[in-house]
Structure formats: C-alpha cells, structure tokens
Amino acid sequence: MNKEASTQAFQQAQNLIPGGVNSPVRAFKSVGGTPIFIAEGEGAYLKDVDGNKYVDFVQSWGPLIFGHRDESIESAVIDAVKHGLSFGAPTQAETDLASLVVDTFDSIDKIRFVSSGTEAVMSAIRLARGFTGRDDIVKFTGCYHGHSDSLLVEAGSGAVTFGNPSSPGVPADFTKHTLLATYNDIESLKKCFADSNDISCVIIEPIAGNMGLVPADKEFLYELKKVCQENGALLIFDEVMSGFRATFHGAESITGVTPDIITLGKVIGGGMPVGAFGARAEIMAKLSPEGPVYQAGTLSGNPVAMAAGLASLKKLKANPKLYSVLESRAKRLVDGMQEEAKKCGITMQTDVRGSMFGFFFNENEVKNFADACTSDAELFAKFHSSMLDNGFYFACSLYETGFISTAITDAMVEDTIKASAKVFQAITNG
C-alpha cells in the first residue's frame, strides 16, 4: 500500500506542529509507522491523501454513530451555517437540544453546553466542589477525563493515595487534592475516604473507554454510589465517550446506578466540537448566573454544533432498535476475530457495550488499568499495522475503544474477520 503522500504530509506537519499532530495519540507512536493523513470520509470509509480506502472503526473517536457525512446531519449543519457560524448569544437550538437530553436522562434536570469533553469535566468538578464546599476529588487509574490539570495524575504508591502530576507544567499543588483509586476495586475507594474527609466528588467512566473498553461491574458501581452517599460526596459519571454510544438512556439505564452529575460529548455534537454537563436542579442552581460557581464560553452552544447534535439525537430517538443492531455487529466482529486468533494460538479478551467494542491480546480478563497494561503491546502494534495495510482502520492505541457505525454493514464485518485471519496467520508464521 502506497503511503508516500501521507509520509510527506507528516514530515511537513512535524516542522510546524509539535509531533506533527494536534492530539498525541494520532502520531502512531505506540503502533509504529507513519500516521495516515485523511482526505475525506464517506459512510463507513476513510480515504487518505494517497487514495487508499479504509473501513473506519474509529469514527472520529466515537461521535459519528451514523458514519461520515450522514445526509441528515450534513443537511442540518449546512442549513445552520447559512444563518451564521456563531453569535455569542442564545438560540432556540440550545433549548431544543437541552430538552432532548434532559428528557432522555432521568438524573438530569438541567444541562450546560460547552465546547469539549475536557471542558465539561473540568466544569462539572468545579460545580461539585462549589456545591459541597469541599476540595478533594477521587478518580480511578486508567480513566481519562480530559487534560485539565487536576486530572493529569499518576498512581500513588504504598499508603499514599494522593496523586502526583503525570505531565510537566502541572504544579503539584494542582493535583494534591486528587486521590486515586483502582477501577472495579471498592476497597481502594474506601481507602481514599479514610485518607480524606474533604472529598467533594468521585468521577468515573462507568464504561471506561480510555484503557481499552473496560465496563465497571454493576456491583462495584452500586457500592461506589453507596460510599458517596454515606460520605456526602457527589458521584460524577463521565459519559463523554459512552453517552448515546453504549445505550440511548446512558449508563444509569443499564447499571441501575444514578449519578449526581453526568458529563457528555461526542455523539451529542454529531461530529462537531461539543461537550455538556448536567445534574438535578438543586446542583445546577449553584452554576452562574443562578449561583456563585462561574463557568463561561464564547462558543458554548454554538448554533452549528447544536444543529448537528439535534439531528444526531433525533435520528437515534427515532430508531430505538438501532443499538441492538450495532451491538450485534460489534459482538460478531470481536467474536470472529477472537476465533481466528485462537486458531493461531493467540488469546484475546473482548467486550462490547452497544456500538462500542474492545479487545486485548491478554491471557487474563481485564478489569482495570493494571490488567490492561499486561496486554501484548507489540502484538497489538503488528496487528494494527497489518490491518491498516489491508484497508481496516482501528484505533492506533491498545488503550482505546473501537466503534461501529450504522454505515458498517454485516458484509464489512465479515471482511474484517477474514482479513484478521490472514493477519494472525502472518504474525504467527513470522
């Protein structure tokens, strides 16, 4: 497969952009090779600047549940653009999208739109601190909640559960209020509360998508909610990735656990930059201009992004059976690849939630980030590179989740499984 134009484009980009990319994972460092530069997307496919075509299992990291250039979303965006790109003033579209989301989530009475998932989480944590009057927060190792300073922490060691900065430029004072727990381990959470009586909130991806796909156990989430209630802390579900991807009504509808605050993004923007956070009225009343907790954004509620989100969610609401169809295809994909891997003596762990799927080259079940880190990264890199050469675009990190869109057909899934069989055989035979 010729990638000359992508190689040249990457070399040019590296002279002007740090690492040649505007988000680190895109640089292909964990899988090797040169990142492909995209020229266009259409339905289930991506086409790169060399003219190569790929079945896309990344879907812009989740937002494109209807694939690239969905006609209804594209039409809504074009119509909105004709009326203006941005006003910095209220529009009816904001209220319409808010109404749709509030009606969908039992735990949300009011919602505030922002421009990214990172911004949504940062604001939700500020709101939780303002509501409780406490400073500390708890996050789980392996859960990614954006790159705001207080969340860029690495695991503590020994008896110390407080986090240390995992990136230069983040002062220790910014992360000293962040405590770390182990995903799916309730005792590690209880240890955090034993170490601090000043915890404002616990934030978690109920369906983790940034250490690969690792859903939280229902029993764990139930106990998590119980511990929060007993200690007067708020529970935040970060559903920036899983919201409207795993299920239409959010993780609360499949886990039975109701959070205090929810953060959303990706699908609610239909491919445009959007984030949001919502909660019951009592909590949201603390937010400016009603309350003292300040949050603002010039492009928040951007009319073009609202139009794309409305079109996306309306289409999802009108097709309630869609999730079972997408889940069936996702399950067939990972089951099929797992079967082909097994024939070659390769062990895969797989999981599916709605249109989200994940797999690890690992002998053991993956329940947390430490488990994920024992996966075979070298094997994943070989698999990724070979599948790319065969025209199948998977996430360029073993710690990311894959996505099925409505544009990906059963036939495409079968073609992917067949290609994986060839790839596994080639890897096994050296």
Query: What pLDDT score does 164 carry?
Result: 56
Distance CA 109, CA 130 (A): 18
Does position 160 have pLDDT exceeding 60, yes or no? Answer: no
Please check whether residue 397 is in contact with residue 385, taking contact to mean a CB–CB distance below 8 angstroms: no
- Delineate the domains of the chain, giving CATH numbers in brackets: 4-57+321-428 (3.90.1150.10), 71-317 (3.40.640.10)
Please check whether residue 233 is in contact with residue 199, taking contact to mean a CB–CB distance below 8 angstroms: yes
Across the range 155-171, mean pLDDT stands at: 52
Across the range 339-351, mean pLDDT stands at: 98
Confidence of residue 187 (pLDDT cuts 50, 70, 90): very high
Please check whether residue 373 is in contact with residue 183, taking contact to mean a CB–CB distance below 8 angstroms: no
Does position 156 have pLDDT exceeding 50, yes or no? Answer: no
Confidence of residue 161 (pLDDT cuts 50, 70, 90): very low
Tell me whether residue 238 is one of the annotated catalytic residues. Answer: yes
Q: At what angle do helices 186-195 and 218-231 cross, to 10 degrees?
A: 20
Across the range 391-413, mean pLDDT stands at: 96
List the catalytic residue out of 45, 144, 393, 399. Answer: 144
Mean pLDDT of the chain: 94
Across the range 60-89, mean pLDDT stands at: 97
Query: What pLDDT score does 158 carry?
Result: 32
Query: What pLDDT score does 162 carry?
Result: 45
3-class SS string, 201-269: EEEECCEECCCCCEECCHHHHHHHHHHHHHHCCEEEEEECCCECCCECCCCHHHHCCCCCEEEEEHHHH
34 token code pair: 């040169």
Percent of the chain's residues with pLDDT above 90? 90
Query: What pLDDT score does 21 carry?
Result: 94
Distance CA 258, CA 122 (A): 20
Across the range 150-168, mean pLDDT stands at: 53
List the catalytic residue out of 266, 286, 315, 382. Answer: 266
Least confident of 85-89, 90-94, 97-101, 169-173: 169-173
Tell me whether residue 195 is one of the annotated catalytic residues. Answer: no
DSSP H helical segments within 84-159, as ranges?
Answer: 92-104, 117-132
List the catalytic residue out of 56, 238, 260, 351. Answer: 238
Distance CA 347, CA 341 (A): 7
Tell me whether residue 144 is one of the annotated catalytic residues. Answer: yes
Please check whether residue 273 is in contact with residue 250, taking contact to mean a CB–CB distance below 8 angstroms: no
Residue closest to 236 by CA, chosen among 100, 111, 138, 135: 138
Across the range 399-422, mean pLDDT stands at: 97
Confidence of residue 22 (pLDDT cuts 50, 70, 90): very high
Query: What pLDDT score does 155 carry?
Result: 35
